A and B are shown apart, each in its own frame.
Chain A
Amino acid sequence: MKSLWSVSLVTLLFCGCVSIKPSHLTPYNEVMSDAPNVTQYKPPANSHLFKATLDIRKHHLTGLLIIKSMDTLIKTQALQQVTTLAPSKTGSGGTPGRYRFVFMNEVGMTFFDLEVKADSFKVVSCFSSLNKKALMKILETDFRMLTWTGSPESTRIYRQEKTNNIIVSGNAGKYKTWRTYSPPGDTLYSISAKSTIADPVIISFSKYTKGFPGNIIIENPFIGMKLSLRKLTR
């Protein structure tokens, strides 16, 4: 793993920052405050179980990922939030409440157990070979973005020329974010976000069933990490 981080550092020096901003955008002036029933990933009210595959360069781990909401009170508030694509100056929301992310192999051994709260991030347990500060920082960004709800600050809306998709940019806390919606604005396709040059992330959602994505892919282009999730029915 040491060599992995050395390679990452060299990549940083040679490649500079990775762009995750969607390309070919033109400002979109229509106000979309009434986008009803937007289909998008919402953090779990209780817990979600996923079949997971984690690839970090040549390393390949498979197993199960549980995303669990740990705070009933804030969870209820998060569920009541209405998602709109309306531009907002003030912004609202954030990581609602407390979430645990437990990644284990199929046989049951825990790879990592992480806690994400609005104002903190905690490594509850982690295999020593994975427990590197830089990797944990990146996972924090990934999971914070996955559980983030509400309207970003200083939002701007664009149309993407080639796809006609709607892109909403804005600031979510320290993160600059771009959300890509379907042309009618009713389905969230992806979230791109970053706070530093080292933690850019692209989260893609697909195969929605009853408003929930069956597949989620989290990519961190800077370190070449990809976490693929497929929702399991328990």
Chain B
Amino acid sequence: MPCKTAFFSSPILQGITARFKTPVKCRMAVVVCIWLMVSLTPSGSVAQNKPMDAGSIVSLKSHVKEVAQVTRTISCDFSQEKEMDMIAEKVISSGKFYLKKEKMLRWEYLKPFSYIIVIRNDQISIRDENKVNQFNIQSNKIFLEINRIILGSIQGTLLADEQNFKADFFENPTSWVVKMKALTPKLKESLSEIVIYFDRKDYTVSRLEMNEPGGDRTRISFSAKIVNQPIADEKFVVR
């Protein structure tokens, strides 16, 4: 009879364990499999994050600040993946992102639904399908927070927000990784941690992860970045 324990409940391991008749042989087979998987994994296939030293942290902060200062516009594609491990479900969406200094942002979802958020100064306009809503950002705490976090991540200002986050700095061959743990109870309720990946080549944000207390996480990856090319103000108007 195949051995049955919670540990053996993954489909791959179930396939392996079903072939063995006794629990002892079964466990041995799993140990061998795990050892093989670990030893055969190419070292370069998983990016290892190692802690940054103090000098590198100062240098990163200064570079990010410098890049943010000279960045007047950004336009790029984004893909967003919401992972819900507990229910083994992913929601993938994608669209276009535009940023223009000082306070203009367009966050446009194209797939699998149409949804546009435009923030211009303190005014938010949302087009949800064909319906347009406009309100002041100060009146909507959720958007105020999302705006602060996303813009703060992209512009690097979040790194200096020691009141709300405790930052830990890591690096891997492709990115500088900043893990920001939420400190305030209100923030902790919706976000336990934000992880920002800065591209080592140009210090721009390549990925953003928002981890929720329940274990769900949203990963936003930015690609096809175009920096400091003119973007018409019209782009930040929703009709």
What residues make up the interface of A, taking CB atoms closer than 8 Å to B? 47, 49, 51, 53, 60, 62, 64, 66, 68, 70, 100, 102, 104-110, 113, 124-125, 127-128, 230, 232-234
B142:A109 contact, CB within 8 angstroms: yes
A60: B residues at CB distance < 8 A: 133
A66:B190 contact, CB within 8 angstroms: no
Please give me the residue from chain B that is nearest to A69 by CB atom: B87
A51:B113 contact, CB within 8 angstroms: yes
The CA-CA distance from A49 to B214 in the complex, in Å, is 20
A55 to chain B, nearest CB (A): 12
B213:A66 contact, CB within 8 angstroms: no
B126: A residues at CB distance < 8 A: 62
Would you give 26 A-B contacts (Cβ < 8 Å), ordered by A?
A: A49-B91, A49-B112, A51-B129, A64-B91, A66-B91, A70-B87, A100-B86, A102-B84, A102-B89, A104-B91, A105-B142, A107-B80, A108-B91, A108-B218, A108-B220, A109-B146, A109-B191, A110-B190, A113-B86, A113-B214, A113-B216, A125-B214, A127-B190, A232-B112, A232-B113, A234-B112
B216:A68 contact, CB within 8 angstroms: no
What residues make up the interface of B, taking CB atoms closer than 8 Å to A? 80, 82, 84, 86-87, 89, 91-93, 107, 109, 112-113, 115, 117, 126, 128-129, 133, 142, 146, 150, 189-191, 210, 212-214, 216, 218, 220
Q: From DSSP, what is the main secondary structure of chain A's interface residues?
A: strand
B82: A residues at CB distance < 8 A: 104, 108
Please give me the residue from chain B that is nearest to A70 by CB atom: B87
A62:B128 contact, CB within 8 angstroms: yes
Please give me the residue from chain B that is nearest to A64 by CB atom: B91
B109: A residues at CB distance < 8 A: 106
Please give me the residue from chain A that is nearest to B83 by CB atom: A108
B113:A125 contact, CB within 8 angstroms: no
B142:A233 contact, CB within 8 angstroms: no
A53:B128 contact, CB within 8 angstroms: yes
Additional A-B contacts beyond A104-B82, A108-B216, A113-B86 (13; CB < 8 A): A49-B112, A102-B89, A104-B91, A107-B146, A107-B150, A108-B80, A108-B82, A110-B212, A125-B214, A127-B190, A230-B129, A233-B112, A234-B92
B137 to chain A, nearest CB (A): 14
A70: B residues at CB distance < 8 A: 87
The CA-CA distance from A47 to B87 in the complex, in Å, is 10
Please give me the residue from chain A that is nearest to B92 by CB atom: A234
B112:A106 contact, CB within 8 angstroms: no
By Cβ-Cβ distance, the 9 closest A-B pairs, closest first, are: A108-B218, A125-B214, A108-B82, A232-B112, A100-B87, A51-B113, A68-B87, A106-B115, A62-B128
B131 to chain A, nearest CB (A): 9
The CA-CA distance from A234 to B81 in the complex, in Å, is 12
B213:A108 contact, CB within 8 angstroms: no
B218:A124 contact, CB within 8 angstroms: no
Counting chain A CB atoms within 10 Å of each CB, which of B107, B115, B126, B133 scores highest? B115
The CA-CA distance from A112 to B175 in the complex, in Å, is 33
A109:B212 contact, CB within 8 angstroms: yes
A110 to chain B, nearest CB (A): 6
Please give me the residue from chain A that is nearest to B215 by CB atom: A125
The CA-CA distance from A108 to B86 in the complex, in Å, is 15
A101 to chain B, nearest CB (A): 10
The CA-CA distance from A104 to B212 in the complex, in Å, is 12
Contact of A66 among B89, B129, B146 (CB under 8 A): B89
Please give me the residue from chain B that is nearest to A66 by CB atom: B89
The CA-CA distance from A124 to B212 in the complex, in Å, is 13
A68:B89 contact, CB within 8 angstroms: yes
The CA-CA distance from A194 to B210 in the complex, in Å, is 39
B62 to chain A, nearest CB (A): 29
A107:B190 contact, CB within 8 angstroms: no
B110 to chain A, nearest CB (A): 12
A124:B86 contact, CB within 8 angstroms: yes
A141 to chain B, nearest CB (A): 22
B210: A residues at CB distance < 8 A: 108-109
